[in-house]
Structure 1
Amino acid sequence: MDIQPNNNAAFTILEDDNANLKQEFNKYLRQWPWFVFALIIALASAYLYVRYAPRIYETSAKIKILDESEGLELPTSAFIFKRKNINLENEMEIIRSYQLLEKVAKRLKLNTVFFEEGTIQTAQIAELPFEYQQLVEPESIEKVSSYAIEIEKETIKITDLKTNQVYNRSHVTEVETDSLLPFSVAVNNQLSYDESAGKRYTVYLGPLKKATLALRAQLSVESVGDVSDLLKLTIRGESRLRSERILNTLLQVFNNDGIKDRQLVSQRTLDFIDDRFIYLAEELDSIEVDRKEFKQRNNLIDLSTDAELGLQLRSRSDDKVFEIESQIALVEVLKNSIVTDEEGKLIPEDVGLQNRNVNSLIGEYNQAVLDKDKLISSGGGGINNPTVQLTKARIKDLTSNITKSLESYYKQLELSQSQLRSRNRELSGTVAQIPKKEKLLRAIERQQTIKESLYLLLLQKREEAAINLAITEPSIKVVDFALSSSAPKTPKPNVIYAASILGGFLVPFGVLFIIFMFDTKIHEKDDIVKLNNKIPIIAEIPDINKKEKTLFEDPNDRSVLAESFRILSSNVNYLIPLTDSDDGKVIYCTSTIKGEGKTFISINLSLALSSMNKKVLLIGADLRNPQIHTHTKFDKNTVGLSDYLNDKSIDWQSNLVKGFDNHPNHDILLSGNIPPNPTSLLTNWRYEDLINQAKKIYDYVIVDTAPTILVTDTMLISKFADVTVYIARANFTDKKILTFSDDLFKTGKLNNMAFVINGVGASKSYGYGYNYGYGYGYGSKEQT
């Protein structure tokens, strides 16, 4: 089974929403005079603000921060991936640093401010139109002082605004100096006089720190774009010339500060290198001396040459030792040969012996042997031949000489051998010491090389630092010098007027919204409908000016009040149940609290019914706080309902009064004397008997009953009513207590309820200060 959506319910909800919106709109629309008044005030204020507000101009400059290493190094990964080497955040903070801005403030003397006073507006200016010379240094100003300068015809009038002391100065061609003033002024030409005559100027001098902090608050520094290395400096002020001077000076100071930092690095590098040069020169001299002494001490000319010479000498010495040893061996061989051989045997000759004497003796010996053998063989007498004997003697002598010569030569060879061996040992030691000497010499030469290299490196760096110091690059590139906007940034007439119009609507709307939000009173019919849409609203009684008539005394009255009560009387008739009885109808008029106008409604409703030629009885049943007598000429203690209910001997008809001469069919039964027990009186049988009798006599019985919130009088007698008219007063009845009437309706404690709204269209000033503690008193003469 398909379920169809409830379109009618949705339409009803939408219709209710539209109705609520319309109701809210109408609630604010009714306050249109306030909106008009607020709009006029806002536009007038906007006009005055635009007319007399100081013109604030925006001045900006753009710079590019130069990378110190840009163009000097090979591209790196940072360059390839477009990574910036400059931290713009740091540069921005440096620009806005107090130290840098203080230099700008001191150079431009920003703690001295000039103003030109107008009839209404005082404007700041960059400089005075005449010559001004400040005699004190900016940093020496510790207290705030101000002076007014007026150029008169013959003199310059200077007034100390703090002490009101006046100084008069003449127009001079040169600046005057006066120790009593922190500055001096002069008007040197007619142009200056024409421009400043009749005008009043103010010179403000303050502490330098205050001016620096003010400049820091005005200055704005931001990067241009996300990946750009450009910075935009912005400042706002009344004087465009002053702002441009500030920014251009700031750029210059910032650039010089960066250059100074770079030059400081170069200068410190030069100072460091110069100090190192002295130390290195001393070290190099020390190393040279050590090298010289080492060579002298070790007899070194050139290490490689000395090593080669040592080896050659050792080789030669070894050869001589070998030669001597060979000679010794030959000597020993010859000696052995002489000893072992027989006499007259030949001795080996020319065996390599290097002694001429020995070789000569051997030669003579061998010749003698040969001569002997020749003589013997020739037969010259044999062995006994004297010649042979002489020869043999000579051979013997030669043998002895040879032996002695060999021994002598042998000793000579041993001595030479010992000397050569000793020399060989010395040469071997010298050659063995060469590596050690080489190591020591190389260590010295290494230190010398290192110091020389460092010396050359520092010399090169010194030249580089000197060049960098001489040609230091700027730290910034000025893209745009300070440039001010042609039109002021503030005030902007279009924005001001638009904001004033918006404010002209929003301010009263906000005030009304707050008032409505905290407003707990009912004001119109819709307020009651929201709280309870089951109880009908049969009339809305307009608010009546105190000067106007509040009672329906004239049956032919055609006023708004009279017509509203005719409508009420007509609508009441529609609520009265239809019956076959011809008895009159009983209508109760009650409210939640006093002051809502139930007595006012009761009297006028009864008069409205009477004006239709109906017999009407008005009964004052509010025994605790009777008010009907205040609208008549009778006294409050006139015998009435309370007396009748308390005394059986009293006839109520005999105590009826005529309160209104133009309504002959209208009777009133006043409340009578205030009883101590109104509840007991109203619940006895005499009240019911009164109602039954009155219904036989009158067409309508209007009963003015007591309020319902604190007393039960009305509920106790509510069963006798055909219609209960429940009065709520606009701008008076609280919405919270109105819920009490809803409970009465739901529980059926009041018969046939219907609302009447009293005082509709009253003043919209809702601050009545209603006290929820309802005090129900006696003797009050206010409208109830």
Structure 2
Amino acid sequence: MNQINNSTNNFFFEEEENINLRQVLEQYLYYWKWFVLGLIVAIIGALFYLKYTQKQYQVSAKILLNEKESAAGELAGLADAATMFGTSSNAEVGDQIEILKSRRLISKVVEQNNFNIRYFSVGRIAEIETTAAESPIKILFLNEADKLNEELFEELEVKIESTTKFKLSNRNTKEANTYSFGQKISTDFGDIIISPNKNIAKSIDAEYLIKLYSLDYTISYYQSKIQIEPNSDKNSKVVNFSLVGTVPNISKKFINDLINQYNLDLVTDNNKLTEATSKFIDSRLDIVTGDLQGVDRDLERYKLSNNITDVTSEANIFLQNASDNEKKLLESSTQLQLVDYMNSALNSNKTDLLPTNIGLQDQTIASQIASYNELVLTKEDMLKSVTNEHPNVVKLQEQIGDVKRNLKNSLRLYRNNTQTTLSTIQNKQNQITSRIQKVPSQERGFRDISRQQQIVEALYLFLLQKREENEIKAAATPENIKVIDYAYSSKVPVSPKKSIILLGALILGLVIPFICIYIYKLLNNNVNSKEDVEDAVGAPIAGQVPKSDISIIEQNDNSSVAEAFRILRTNMNFLLKNSTDPQSIYITSTTSGEGKTFISTNLAQILTMSGKSVLLIGADIRSPKVLDYLGITDQYRHKYGVTEYLISNDINISDIIIKNPADYKFDVIYSGQVAPNPSELLMNGRFDDIVKYGKANYDYVLIDTAPVSLVTDTLLISDSADITMYVVRANYLDKRMLAIPKELYQDNRLKNMAMVVNDVDFTKGYGYGYGYGYGYGENHNKGRFFKNLFKRK
């Protein structure tokens, strides 16, 4: 039996294994109107979004980081020193970008421009941000500290009622009151005043929104929004700025002020270096001035005590020879003092900045001093945004230590060389001195004091010159950056992008209906197709009957329903092995309402179309419906039926047969009156006589029986069946109920059982794939679009 059934399944549905993908596609295409509706709604939503969403524009700027000069205005030797210590001639571009993005700089820009206060125009759908200058109202904090409150987050709605009054509502607290412009308003976040701007008269009855944010939140917001990146060229010192916002003027103001604040910081650093040099020179001048005054007094006392008024003629003999030596001696002595001054500054300096270009003739020492100051400034810049423990700061400190040690070594070496030179000059000078032994001792003393006076005076004049140079440098500090492009806005908004929004809407318009349909199918536990029946029951499928409003097919009917019953007739004969013997065919179902009577009446009709004689028996004596389907209830409701025959032995079978009712080509025995004990009546054996009579006089006997899950009537009379057509209605029967026919089939309790799937909606893509053209000449009822669209599936 199982072998026959398996071969039958393979015979009918072998080709269908290859069309699953098509079936799935057709199942979703059935809901094409929902996909169209989804696309329409999504596109309309996208258009509304594009219309009412405030557009965002990109604001850009570009600067060039200039070379930094030393405080004294000289760059000699810096390039070599920079290469030696592995740094660039100016601060690294990456480090400067970190400074530009630092909270310290951004906080200054935010505070100066009140960027933590934002103004919006409230429309019916959207809120459009505007600048403080364009807003007809302005909020002022009476206490500036309240504006910097770290927990500040308020949304204030302002409805302008007149040029003098407005209604203020707090979205957070839901408080609402009417105030006059300029009136002091006490709130939980401080005392405020709301004042009107010049365009207040044009904004009467309009609503505006003021959003107050904490300074910390606003700084973090701009840190996340601002893009500061170096140029693609590694050797370039160009820095690019980019900021995306809804109000281009606000973005422009932020970028331009950030650039100006950064430049101001660099100027401040230069001023610090200049100030350090100025303090050093002033301190040296104080000392040298005292020395010079002391030498002058010594010379004055010497002349007075020794009555010296002029240089004697004897000394003139050696002046020419001694003159050159004295100049060299003076120069060497000056260099030694400068070295001592620099050593003193290096050992006791508190600011870490060293004076530059004070007259040391060794170019290496001048370059090392410039490099040392450059590293100290770089460290101070870093400490503005990071701590001493930061790896870059630690690395810089190590470099500063290395430069400091090298500078001390260079000073020591230079001092030794200068001392050696001085000794050589002094020896030569001693030789000359020994030759003027006859010169009066008074003149020699005068010479010594005069020489000391010249040395101190030369140093004094030198320091005065350097002080003046430093002051000139401080008064004419050059720009540290060059602005290539001030902030400018793009004409085309960068967001929302129309093409991307519309594309996203198209995708959502297709995906959302697909997901909804998928979830609906996932949650739908009813039988939908013959595959559900095949998988759950395992019995062969004799046929599928499409969804239709037809009660019974007509002669020469070419509709999809008629074609389905012709296929059912062919498959049934195959299951009966095309036997020419009379056959009894039972039609049953799991529950009522699955269309077994519909199948019975139409199968009888289609069999008569092939020239066969058919007897249709209504064996559901609990709920008779055969006459109703044939439309002859009023004519034959009082005639004897199966119930009466089973009750009375005086009634013959011929007495209960209705011959060709309503011009149908088949005969009918209807159920009769509803009996109080149907099961007992069916067990008395007389029903078998009806079946035997039918098989003796007709080619086919169709028995419309009761549902098997509700009563046992069908099982009581099933032995008389040659084949049992088990009807399952699609989109009606719960899949869990398929366990009943499965058990009946496996236990072989219904003879030659085959499944008939009724009420299949082929437009959903279920079934054989006849889909939209099952049959010929069919006149489908097609309602209007929206009527079908919202028709319950």
TM-score of the superposed pair, with normalisation by structure 1 = 0.57
Q: Separation in 2 of the partners of 1:185 and 1:578?
A: 98
The answer to whether residue 217 in structure 2 is matched with residue 219 in structure 1 is no
The residue type equivalent to 1:670 in the other structure is S
Cα distance change on mapping 1:665 and 1:117 into 2, 3 Å: closer
Match of 1:596 in 2: 594
Match of 2:158 in 1: 147
How do 1:89-108 and structure 2 match up within 5 A?
A: 95-108=100-113
Match of 2:759 in 1: 759
Match of 1:236 in 2: 244
The answer to whether residue 517 in structure 2 is matched with residue 512 in structure 1 is yes
Cα distance change on mapping 1:234 and 1:130 into 2, 3 Å: closer
How far off its partner does 1:487 sit?
Answer: 0.3
Q: Is the 8 A contact 2:678 2:713 kept in 1?
A: no
How far off its partner does 1:455 sit?
Answer: 3.0
Cα distance change on mapping 1:614 and 1:62 into 2, 3 Å: same
Q: Separation in 1 of the partners of 2:58 and 2:507?
A: 26
The DSSP-based 3-state class of the residue aligned with 2:22 is helix
Q: Is the 8 A contact 2:121 2:209 kept in 1?
A: no
More displaced 10-residue stretch of structure 1: 29-38 or 659-668: 659-668
The residue type equivalent to 1:111 in the other structure is N
Match of 1:492 in 2: 497
How far off its partner does 1:616 sit?
Answer: 3.6
Match of 2:116 in 1: 111
Deviation string for 1:559-609 (max 9, x for gaps)?
76566556645654555444464xx32111123444322233223333554
The residue type equivalent to 1:481 in the other structure is Y
Match of 2:507 in 1: 502
Deviation string for 1:657-698 (max 9, x for gaps)?
6895444743224176566683x7656644433321221233
The answer to whether residue 702 in structure 2 is matched with residue 702 in structure 1 is yes
Q: Separation in 2 of the partners of 1:643 and 1:556?
A: 36
The answer to whether residue 130 in structure 2 is matched with residue 125 in structure 1 is yes
Unaligned runs of 5+ in 2: 1-12, 171-175, 186-191, 292-336, 358-372, 374-466, 767-793
More displaced 10-residue stretch of structure 1: 109-118 or 38-47: 109-118
The DSSP-based 3-state class of the residue aligned with 2:354 is helix
How do 1:302-381 and structure 2 match up within 5 A?
A: none
> Pick from 74, 81, 92: which aligns with 2:80?
74
The residue type equivalent to 2:156 in the other structure is S
Cα distance change on mapping 1:260 and 1:20 into 2, 3 Å: farther
How far off its partner does 1:128 sit?
Answer: 3.6
Q: Is the 8 A contact 1:58 1:237 kept in 2?
A: yes
Q: Is the 8 A contact 1:56 1:488 kept in 2?
A: yes
Match of 1:461 in 2: 354
The residue type equivalent to 2:208 in the other structure is T
Q: Is the 8 A contact 2:167 2:177 kept in 1?
A: yes
Structure with bigger RCO (C-alpha 8 Å, 6+ apart): 2
Q: Is the 8 A contact 1:139 1:207 kept in 2?
A: no
The residue type equivalent to 1:461 in the other structure is L
Cα distance change on mapping 1:487 and 1:675 into 2, 3 Å: same
Q: Is the 8 A contact 1:590 1:726 kept in 2?
A: yes
The answer to whether residue 543 in structure 2 is matched with residue 538 in structure 1 is yes
Q: Separation in 1 of the partners of 2:518 and 2:496?
A: 30
Q: Is the 8 A contact 1:638 1:670 kept in 2?
A: no
Q: Separation in 2 of the partners of 1:83 and 1:681?
A: 114
Deviation string for 1:174-203 (max 9, x for gaps)?
xxx66577254454xxxx799x58895736
Cα distance change on mapping 1:620 and 1:139 into 2, 3 Å: farther
Match of 2:193 in 1: 182
The residue type equivalent to 2:487 in the other structure is A
Match of 1:32 in 2: 32
The answer to whether residue 19 in structure 2 is matched with residue 19 in structure 1 is yes
How do 1:256-271 and structure 2 match up within 5 A?
A: 256-257=264-265, 260=268
How far off its partner does 1:34 sit?
Answer: 1.2
Q: Separation in 1 of the partners of 2:747 and 2:756?
A: 20
Deviation string for 1:324-356 (max 9, x for gaps)?
xxxxxxxxxxxxxxxxxxxxxxxxxxxxxxxxx
Q: Is the 8 A contact 2:565 2:602 kept in 1?
A: yes
How far off its partner does 1:244 sit?
Answer: 0.7
The residue type equivalent to 1:523 in the other structure is N
Match of 1:423 in 2: none
Q: Separation in 1 of the partners of 2:226 and 2:137?
A: 27
Match of 1:422 in 2: none
The DSSP-based 3-state class of the residue aligned with 1:487 is coil
The residue type equivalent to 1:455 in the other structure is S
Cα distance change on mapping 1:534 and 1:694 into 2, 3 Å: closer
How far off its partner does 1:238 sit?
Answer: 1.9
TM-score of the superposed pair, with normalisation by structure 2 = 0.57
How far off its partner does 1:107 sit?
Answer: 0.9
The answer to whether residue 178 in structure 2 is matched with residue 165 in structure 1 is yes
Q: Separation in 2 of the partners of 1:204 and 1:656?
A: 90
Cα distance change on mapping 1:611 and 1:527 into 2, 3 Å: same
The residue type equivalent to 1:502 in the other structure is I
Cα distance change on mapping 1:217 and 1:681 into 2, 3 Å: farther
Q: Is the 8 A contact 1:100 1:253 kept in 2?
A: yes
The residue type equivalent to 1:56 in the other structure is Q
Count of residue pairs the alignment pairs up: 566
> Pick from 254, 260, 266: which aligns with 1:252?
260
Deviation string for 1:719-743 (max 9, x for gaps)?
5323322322222245565576567
The answer to whether residue 672 in structure 2 is matched with residue 666 in structure 1 is no
Q: Separation in 1 of the partners of 2:197 and 2:39?
A: 51
Unaligned runs of 5+ in 1: 1-12, 169-176, 286-447, 767-784
Q: Is the 8 A contact 1:54 1:238 kept in 2?
A: yes
Cα distance change on mapping 1:634 and 1:276 into 2, 3 Å: farther
Deviation string for 1:299-326 (max 9, x for gaps)?
xxxxxxxxxxxxxxxxxxxxxxxxxxxx
The residue type equivalent to 1:250 in the other structure is L
The residue type equivalent to 2:112 in the other structure is R
Match of 2:443 in 1: none
Match of 1:605 in 2: 603
Match of 1:52 in 2: 52
How do 1:258-657 and structure 2 match up within 5 A?
A: 260=268, 454-455=343-344, 457=346, 461-462=354-355, 478=483, 480-524=485-529, 535-544=540-549, 550-551=551-552, 565=565, 568-569=568-569, 572-573=572-573, 575-579=575-579, 581=581, 584-609=582-607, 615-622=613-620, 628=626, 632=633, 641=642, 654-655=655-656
Deviation string for 1:241-277 (max 9, x for gaps)?
1111112112223443465467668868988x79999
